[in-house]
Amino acid sequence: MSIPLPTPNLPKPLYLPSIELKQPSARIPSYKPMVIPPADLERPEETKAEESKEKTEQPAPPTLKIPVIDIQMPIPETAVVVTAVTTAVIAVTTTTITQSLFEPIKKKVQKFIQGKVDAWKKKRKEKKEKVSSVS
């Protein structure tokens, strides 16, 4: 004899999509090892030294001949001239602009300070006159 057992009526489970996580990867820095020869390294006797195909001499820098003085002046490289000219133009422009901006401010500040100095001198003179009249 079997006893009928009640069975629960459960709802279907929710569908949850699975999340795929990729394994992290890293770019590991690598380098070529530097080979440092020993201090007492010498070329084997059977071998010959390689001859350099390139000229080791550099061409002389261009010069400018000044006829009156008879002197050869070296001409600087283009990059040096461009840098110098740019710096000079910026310096002159900055000075001109700031001078025109600060000149009125300078005059007003001088007038203000001179007024304060004059007022201080006047008060000092009045104090001296007051002290001398009391004595």
- Note the pLDDT tens digit of each residue in 44-95: 788 887 766 555 677 777 888 888 888 888 888 889 999 999 999 999 999 9
Whether the pLDDT of residue 26 is over 90: the answer is: no
Residue with tokens 């071998």: 47
Q: What is the pLDDT of residue 55?
A: 57
How confident is the model over 39-48, as pLDDT tens digits? 887 887 888 8
CA–CA separation, 62 and 64 (whole Å): 7
Q: What is the pLDDT of residue 45?
A: 81
Tokens 């080979």 map to which residue? 35
- Spatial contact of 75 and 66, defined as CB atoms under 8 Å apart: no
pLDDT score of 115 more than 90: yes
Residue 122 confidence (pLDDT) above 80: yes
pLDDT, mean over the chain: 86
Domain range summary for the chain, segments of one domain joined by +: 64-134
Which pLDDT score is estimated for 108?
94
For the chain, give percent helix, strand, coil, nearest 5: 40, 5, 50
Return the pLDDT at 120. Answer: 95
Measured distance CA(33)–CA(59) in Å, rounded: 37
CB 64 within 8 A of CB 76: no
115 in Cβ contact with 107 (< 8 Å):
no
- Terminal Cα distance for the chain, rounded: 139
Question: Largest Cα–Cα distance of the chain, in whole Å?
Answer: 139
- Section 104-130 average pLDDT: 93
